[in-house]
Structure 1
Amino acid sequence: MTRPQPLEGDYDYIIVGAGTAGCVLANRLSADPKCRVLLLEAGGSDNYHWVHIPVGYLYCIGNPRTDWMMTTAAEPGLNGRRLAYPRGKLLGGCSSVNGMIYMRGHAADYDRWRQLGNPGWAWDDVLPYFIKSQDHHAGASPLHGAGGEWKVSRQKLEWEILRAVQEGAKEFGIEPRADFNDGSNEGSGFFEVNQRNGVRWNTAKGFLRPAMRRPNLRVMTHAETERVLIEGRQVTGVRFRHKGRVHEACAKAEVLLAAGTINSPKLLELSGIGDPRLLGELGIDVRHAQPGVGANLQDHLQIRTVFRVSNTVTLNEVANSLRGKLRIAAEYALRRSGPMSMAPSQFGMFTRSDPSLDMPDLEYHVQPLSTDKLGDPLHRFPAITVSVCNLRPESVGSSHITSAAADRQPEIRLNYLSADADRRIALASIRQARQIMTARALAPYAPQEILPGPAVVGDPDLLEAAGNIATTIFHPVGTCRMGSDPAAVVDPKLRVRGVNGLRVVDASIMPRIVSGNTASPVVMIAEKAADMIQQS
């Protein structure tokens, strides 16, 4: 067995994971020159050109240089399919490979968190933290910040067909909205993005790089944490592997897990915090019995409907010609604009699957491109993708280790479409997408359904089709649920129950998934956590 090597000196805080949350924590905690902070990242640097070119997400997802290359278990609700489950493995984490959409969710999401036993997490409580780090293109206002580390920009290109979809949606009561992030996101609009001048803006650029000049912050890449060190009920540090050697680092104040919804519960379980039955089967000593670790996994499942169009231009035909590719490259090289500056989705809509609902439960991501499935070549004819997801799914899954070995991927089970309500909403969302595409405003473009196809009509056939074409939208949350009840993994201050000196700070603490994209809520969580840590 390799003898653990001590890392020189003690640290006040050890942060595990330099992802979306970890970079924020490292910045805020190291701002106090009296605090020594160690930030451990299992992946490498974000110094890779495809990280920074917005369209480069296509080359980062599924790339072992930047992606953990995880897969789900076979999903019965998806007709037995296993999905690739991308997670960022580099500085900036998922903020280096995601869709760059700036979205907070609905005010009611956070009010519900408070109602679930989490005082201090209502909309009015968290809004100041969203504002604190923001550098909004429109400047400071009661709802937005200026001068912060998290840049929010307008996208640098538009497509005629997307404007037509917006006009068509108005015919069905989906009105244009100026701001998706004022607490009520209902309506349609063009997504704001985390970019600066057509270049991705990740948390490594915004938060970590400015802090790396501080002598009290040490950042180690390719340092894979194997477990948390616990003496009695006190967490004392971490064990990690770096360049083939095993090291131990001591934390005088706290260890902060910011490894993400999949890897944070994995580390807790490897450290003996979890379901005693599972840990016992794997030969892991139980340090604290907490069956909630790894449970409560939630995600947004998107159903991709595709429509062929006419009399307009989409990315399909532009990107499928040599002349078009050269023009795209030149436009980005000269002006940092054009398709290479595109986020995966440009236009969105928030609406209701049932008019009786009191708030939107569907989010549309509409793209001026199409494929048979994600990762396939673009179709050679003009077409658009109208993806729709259930914002508040009732289907809940889990992520648990299957081995005591730290280098093994957990078993990820989402249980998509296992709840009756989710199947009902899936059917309603497909039918709603079809209805929107019949709008008079879209008639000049003669939309023709490609996926799931006009012949798929009845409920059983539509559900089977949804199982064939639906996929994750990469928003896993909830596996270290926050709450005031004994079954919660962390308390409302994000402290792990049953031990001292350990917190979890990432999307895994969400008790319920937010009604939108998850990156900026994680930045908010880290901002609030840093404040709570410094005040403790």
Structure 2
Amino acid sequence: MVALDLSSADYVIVGGGTAGLVVACRLSEDPTTQVIILESGQDHSNDPQVQNHQAWSTLTGSELDWRLETTPQPGFNNRKIEYPLGKIVGGSSAINGSAFLPPSPAGINTWAKLGNPNWTWESLAPYIKKSYTLHPPDDQHRPHSLPTGPIQVTYPALVDHQDKTLVRAWNDAFADQGYEYISDLLAEKQTVGTRPYTAAIDPVSGHRSSADSQYGSILRGRANVTIVTGATVRRIVFDSADQTATATGVEVQWSEQIREIKARKEIILAAGAIHTPKILELSGIGDEARLRDLQIPLVINNPSVGENLQNHVMSVLPVPMKPHSEIQDITPGIKALSFVRLDSDLQTLLDPAQPTSSILQSPSEASACLFLTTLPGNIALLGVLPGYPSSRGNTHIHSSDPDATPAIDPRFLENEVDLQILVRHVQQAQKMTATAALEPFLHALPESDSATLAKELRESMALPTYHSCGTAAMLPREAGGVVGQDLKVYGTENVRVVDASVFPVISHANPMATVYAVAERASDIIKS
């Protein structure tokens, strides 16, 4: 690959992660367009540990992780929580568990209702499809209309006979409770029901299919793109003589030097939901009082930068497995999903003022995802992940030093509604272990009373999921927005955000597929 002149490019992309590589890939389709990607981490595309999707738990806490942690969380009995984020080309898509779950139509249409009429399910769905290629199991007919995008998506638990046996029992158990099986990955009619587990895994190599291995492999063959690793952006540089806040470039630390890289067209922030607001604040875009206290010259006063931090909270229940000839050598991993509701309880719990309430009131929309995972040693894990939390946190800088880590306060379970929904879904999961379909395979769990369970969840059972989003929200400015529908930062001429920071409301499950879709659409918005 021929290196560009690293003093300038048409587009300077901050972050070579899940979103940044997508946007770089699409913008560089025009060979006359020059793109520089600045990534703090290194290129580990040939690292067997990164390629092995089953080794993801060994990557968190390693040198490939930013190794951040939260402030003490009152909702978790003041526990500090580790906060993994990928510090690597490919970002978190290169170190996460590879689950690939598209957002729900109701969730995306809520983005439109909150002041983004151009961002509906109808407008985003083509970009979801543009990002992936689906590989159905060998025993299922492959429709001709399946998407054919870079990310390879497979059904890991629908290959082995023993996996199929347990998945069938899972589906039967939920069918008896009124939950039908949904084979459509997009689940456009409804999210409620059982689904096969889908993951970003290449069906040929068996390797992780990440932004790096797919979009990155395309970029490495283009002479008009340079990926600069070990390059940490310190701030965006604005033309002080220009009252319209036009960015001229970025200040970056690279090879123990600080230099400026010019952008002839745009600065594109793809640093993720924690580092994107950090860079904005270091650049003078944020709350005026906070920046004044840190002696950072104000460029744009917007107190919403770093606010609206959203994340899922889950719980995982260990379930002893019974000896059974049909599953005695079952491989470890996630096996099955079920998206479920709390119809009778939801109406009494929900706050009508919360934007998530309208989503959960839809009878076709699930309020939680239950999932089954097998481990070595005849142990299963029954996971519970409520989909649309009401709690909102924030992340902010507390120093003008670009090397200082930001303060991360997700405020897990701050809203009592989130705790009560989690309690009820955990009780629902406990009951499922005693169903006739699962009884041959799992030992039934005792049912916990609500007060005891709420206490145990706060003390230790409640866990974070690392699905950070929302900290540079796409909303009207007066409603807490940081970017508009064109993803431009309010008050700037040429700074955009294309990562999970822009989500007004979190997606109902793992956000990776939504990040790919938003980045795909952002690319077309920028081109236009």
- The TM-score normalised by the length of structure 2 is 0.89
* Pick aligned residue for 1:352 from 341, 365, 371: 341
Partner of 1:187: 193
* Pick aligned residue for 1:493 from 465, 486, 492: 486
Shift of 1:485: 3.4
Residue 223 of structure 1 pairs with residue 231 of structure 2: yes
Instruction: Please give the secondary structure, in 2, of the residue aligned with 1:402.
Output: coil
Which whole-Å CA distance do the structure 1 matches of 2:461 and 2:326 have between them?
Answer: 21
One-letter amino acid matched to 1:397: G
Seen in structure 2, the aligned counterparts of structure 1 residues 404 and 140 have a Cα distance that, compared at 3 Å, is farther
* Pick aligned residue for 2:503 from 503, 510, 515: 510
Deviation track 1:194-220 (CA, whole Å, cap 9, x = no partner) reads 111321111112112212222211110
- Residue-pair matches, total: 489
Q: Is the deviation greater in 249-258 or in 163-172?
A: 163-172
Instruction: Please give the secondary structure, in 2, of the residue aligned with 1:345.
Output: strand
Instruction: Please give the secondary structure, in 2, of the residue aligned with 1:428.
Output: helix
Mapping 1:51-130, distance limit 5 Å: 51-64=50-63, 66-130=64-128
Which whole-Å CA distance do the structure 1 matches of 2:306 and 2:391 have between them?
Answer: 15
Which whole-Å CA distance do the structure 2 matches of 1:88 and 1:345 have between them?
Answer: 22
Given that 2:7 and 2:260 are in contact with CA atoms closer than 8 Å, whether structure 1 keeps it comes out as no
Partner of 1:284: 296
Which whole-Å CA distance do the structure 1 matches of 2:275 and 2:397 have between them?
Answer: 10
Partner of 2:202: 196
Given that 1:282 and 1:404 are in contact with CA atoms closer than 8 Å, whether structure 2 keeps it comes out as yes
Shift of 1:69: 0.5
Shift of 1:446: 4.9
Given that 1:491 and 1:497 are in contact with CA atoms closer than 8 Å, whether structure 2 keeps it comes out as yes
Given that 1:179 and 1:185 are in contact with CA atoms closer than 8 Å, whether structure 2 keeps it comes out as no
* Pick aligned residue for 1:145 from 130, 144, 147: 147
Given that 2:427 and 2:448 are in contact with CA atoms closer than 8 Å, whether structure 1 keeps it comes out as no
Given that 1:309 and 1:448 are in contact with CA atoms closer than 8 Å, whether structure 2 keeps it comes out as no
Given that 1:105 and 1:185 are in contact with CA atoms closer than 8 Å, whether structure 2 keeps it comes out as no
Seen in structure 2, the aligned counterparts of structure 1 residues 446 and 57 have a Cα distance that, compared at 3 Å, is closer
Partner of 2:222: 214
Instruction: Please give the secondary structure, in 1, of the residue aligned with 2:437.
Output: helix
Residue 171 of structure 1 pairs with residue 176 of structure 2: yes
Instruction: Please give the secondary structure, in 2, of the residue aligned with 1:431.
Output: helix
Q: Is the deviation greater in 523-532 or in 212-221?
A: 212-221
Aligned Cα root-mean-square deviation (Å): 2.0
Given that 1:77 and 1:415 are in contact with CA atoms closer than 8 Å, whether structure 2 keeps it comes out as yes
Shift of 1:99: 1.6
Q: Extract unaligned runs of 5+ from structure 1.
A: 1-5, 319-337, 370-377
Which whole-Å CA distance do the structure 1 matches of 2:133 and 2:440 have between them?
Answer: 39
Shift of 1:240: 0.8
Which whole-Å CA distance do the structure 2 matches of 1:73 and 1:172 have between them?
Answer: 40
Residue 366 of structure 1 pairs with residue 378 of structure 2: no
Given that 2:54 and 2:97 are in contact with CA atoms closer than 8 Å, whether structure 1 keeps it comes out as no
Deviation track 1:3-36 (CA, whole Å, cap 9, x = no partner) reads xxx9744211000101000110111111111111
Shift of 1:167: 2.0
Of all paired residues, the percent bearing the same amino acid is: 30
Shift of 1:441: 1.3
Which whole-Å CA distance do the structure 2 matches of 1:226 and 1:394 have between them?
Answer: 33
Partner of 2:475: 483
Partner of 1:12: 10
Which whole-Å CA distance do the structure 2 matches of 1:19 and 1:503 have between them?
Answer: 16
Shift of 1:448: 4.0
Residue 310 of structure 1 pairs with residue 322 of structure 2: yes
Q: Is the deviation greater in 208-217 or in 115-124?
A: 208-217
Given that 1:481 and 1:489 are in contact with CA atoms closer than 8 Å, whether structure 2 keeps it comes out as yes
Which whole-Å CA distance do the structure 1 matches of 2:325 and 2:102 have between them?
Answer: 32
Which whole-Å CA distance do the structure 2 matches of 1:140 and 1:243 have between them?
Answer: 50
Which whole-Å CA distance do the structure 2 matches of 1:491 and 1:208 have between them?
Answer: 28
Partner of 1:272: 284
Instruction: Please give the secondary structure, in 1, of the residue aligned with 2:343.
Output: coil
* Pick aligned residue for 2:452 from 450, 461, 470: 461
One-letter amino acid matched to 1:385: L
Q: Extract unaligned runs of 5+ from structure 2.
A: 137-141, 347-360
Given that 2:420 and 2:454 are in contact with CA atoms closer than 8 Å, whether structure 1 keeps it comes out as no
Shift of 1:395: 0.5
Instruction: Please give the secondary structure, in 2, of the residue aligned with 1:247.
Output: strand
- The TM-score normalised by the length of structure 1 is 0.87
Deviation track 1:279-298 (CA, whole Å, cap 9, x = no partner) reads 12222111111101000001
Instruction: Please give the secondary structure, in 2, of the residue aligned with 1:14.
Output: strand
